[in-house]
Amino acid sequence: MFNPQLEEMQWRTTYKGTVTNTDSYSGITWVITPMIDLKKGDLFKLEEKDEEKVLHEDGRDTFVAESNGYINELGIPQIDIG
């Protein structure tokens, strides 16, 4: 579907989190991942193009996927969160 308004949109960067435990490091490793590749249960965070964190209305800056990533009716990658 062609939508000229979508051409003007600035897309957010999606980072998938993976828990890493080694002798010298214990924490979350963040890797840039297309939103469409996220799976239900994945930990992720989003950044605007200006590198500002995307915050949930309750203040969270990390999210857990409640669905697999998908393309919505406007042709935009989307994911459901709880």
pLDDT band at 79 (very low <50, low <70, confident <90, very high): very high
pLDDT of residue 10 exceeding 60: no
At residue 1, the pLDDT reads: 45
Distance CA 17, CA 30 (A): 5
The ranges assigned to domains in the chain are 10-78
Q: Is the pTM of this model over 0.85?
A: no
Distances (CA, A) of 10 to 29, 32, 76: 25, 16, 12
pLDDT band at 77 (very low <50, low <70, confident <90, very high): confident
- Residues 12-61 have pLDDT tens digits of 899 999 998 888 888 999 999 999 999 999 999 999 888 899 999 899 99
